[in-house]
Amino acid sequence: MITTPFWIDQLEQPAGQALTAPLPERVDVAIVGSGYTGLVAALTLARAGAQVAVLEQQTIGWGASSRNGGMVSPGLKLSARKLFAKFDAPLARELWQASLDAVDLVEDLATAESIDCNWRRDGHVHLASKESHFEAMQDNAVWFRETLGHPLRVVPRGELRSEIGTDQYYGAVVDDYSGGLQPAKFAAGLAQAAQHAGVALVERTEVQSIQRAAFGFHVMTSRGALQAEEVIVATNGYTGPLLPELQRRVIPAGSYIIVTAPLHPDAQRITSPRGRMFYDSKWFLNYFRLTPDGRMLWGGRNSLTPDADLIKSAQALRRQMVHTFPHLVEVPITHSWSGRLGLTFDMLPHIGRIDGVHYALGYNGHGVSIASYLGQEIGLLLSGAKTRSPFLEIPHPTRFFYDGQPWFLPLAARYFQARDLLS
């Protein structure tokens, strides 16, 4: 079993190989992290005329942006109903609309930059793991239509086989706004577009400190120093101690994925008749889909720790997959890998500024579209093309007990497991 992401194996040329540039001495904007956030910010700023360097401690796109499930769906991790309970209606509506615009942005970027990343808008299916969850979903579908004008199609249990090849679920809702892509190809395509726009993509260069200086910032890296007028930190689940006040606001958590060998075409049709993206309604949810070449990709997070053993995690994920799809029992697992999510205490993404350094992060496992969007948003803000963003206006909380070391993750995992049993 291979323990690197399947998506990276599929790249004709790993994103970093042809791209890496020497460390420039001076730039207008230095960006730390080369996922969707950093790359779209870089592209946006370079197109506005700025000199930009993206600094990546590993290879370009190495983080969650090349490791995720490739599911692109509207909404933020905090549900739209909770947004309306937490904020006044205009702000809640603006945040919801941003999540729709973010899906459109992915489509627009893939099209405008000719990124061959298997983007398809086939919709997603939210599956009810319990009877009570299906009742809540039906109620939710009415609320979405009446409050947001957003159509969600309810699929009762008896009709589920038209969507999915299992009887394990109690019903579902379908959202046709969503799509799917090959995440590493999307990251590689964004990197190429940024490079063509003049961005210096600097790999294997860890940013070790950022200090204020007369001209802006003195950025110290593992390969020397760089001067930058502005700095953006775009490190999400890989955020380290660069800015301690930022580290206290984002919690790294692990998410795990396995991929099978290609399924027989008949098994593909039975498993996913419409090729949609799937996720269930548990706190410790499973997300799954067919890959563009017809494999089952099955993901989840049994514990929240980012460092679980990849063989054990593959065994646990396989058990869940076979429980849901008994007809996949004989299909071998070819890949098992993990990546880091950036969780926030309010389950919302944020743009902010600490000691003069800008940042955008906190996608809570829902970041393919919204990370791209916040990358664009912070690029537009810094270039002056935009003067406000709702993600800049909402407060970004921490907790007194969190100093950047997430000691409480095992406790939180047990709490969510209990909620899955009880709710």
Ligand X SMILES: Cc1cc2nc3c(=O)[nH]c(=O)nc-3n(C[C@H](O)[C@H](O)[C@H](O)COP(=O)(O)OP(=O)(O)OC[C@H]3O[C@@H](n4cnc5c(N)ncnc54)[C@H](O)[C@@H]3O)c2cc1C
Q: What is the contact surface with ligand X in residues (CB under 6 A)?
A: 32-38, 55-58, 62-65, 67-71, 206-207, 234-238, 240, 242, 255, 257, 287, 299, 339-341, 361, 363, 365-368, 371
Nearer to ligand X, 58 or 227 (CB): 58
Query: Residue 317 Cβ, how far from ligand X at the closest point, in Å?
Result: 11
Phi then psi dihedrals of residue 130, to 5 deg: -140, 160
Nearer to ligand X, 64 or 155 (CB): 64
Strands of 277-280's sheet, edge to edge? Answer: 153-156, 171-175, 124-127, 277-280, 286-290, 296-300, 251-260, 333-343
* Angle, helices 183-196/36-47, rounded to nearest 10 degrees: 20
Nearer to ligand X, 172 or 190 (CB): 190
Query: Residue 242 Cβ, how far from ligand X at the closest point, in Å?
Result: 6
Query: Residue 287 Cβ, how far from ligand X at the closest point, in Å?
Result: 6
* 301-330 b/e (C-beta count within 10 Å ≥ 16 → b): bbbbebebebeebbebbbebbeebbeebee
Say how far apart CA 396 and CA 360 lie, in whole Å.
11
Rg (CA), the chain: 21
Contact 198, 207 (CB under 8 A): no
Query: Residue 88 Cβ, how far from ligand X at the closest point, in Å?
Result: 27
What is the 8-class DSSP label of residue 341?
Answer: E
Nearer to ligand X, 339 or 379 (CB): 339
Query: Residue 125 Cβ, how far from ligand X at the closest point, in Å?
Result: 14
Sign of the C-alpha dihedral, residues 31, 33, 34, 39? negative
Query: Residue 363 Cβ, how far from ligand X at the closest point, in Å?
Result: 3
Query: Residue 339 Cβ, how far from ligand X at the closest point, in Å?
Result: 3
Sign of the C-alpha dihedral, residues 293, 294, 300, 302? negative
Nearer to ligand X, 138 or 394 (CB): 394
Query: Residue 388 Cβ, how far from ligand X at the closest point, in Å?
Result: 21
Q: Give residues with Cβ within 8 angstroms of 378, minimum separation 6.
A: 37, 41, 232, 351, 358, 360, 389
Query: Residue 362 Cβ, how far from ligand X at the closest point, in Å?
Result: 9
As beta bridge partners, residue 336 has: 258
Nearer to ligand X, 106 or 172 (CB): 106
Nearer to ligand X, 97 or 209 (CB): 209
Under DSSP, is residue 155 helix (H, G, I), strand (E, B) or coil?
Answer: strand
Nearer to ligand X, 167 or 309 (CB): 309
Q: What share of the chain is helix, strand, coil (3-state, %, to 5)?
A: 35, 25, 40
Say how far apart CA 40 and CA 194 lie, in whole Å.
8
Say how far apart CA 210 and CA 213 lie, in whole Å.
9
Nearer to ligand X, 173 or 181 (CB): 181
Residue in the shown chain whose Cβ atom is closest to ligand X:
367
How do beta strands 171-175 and 153-156 pair?
antiparallel
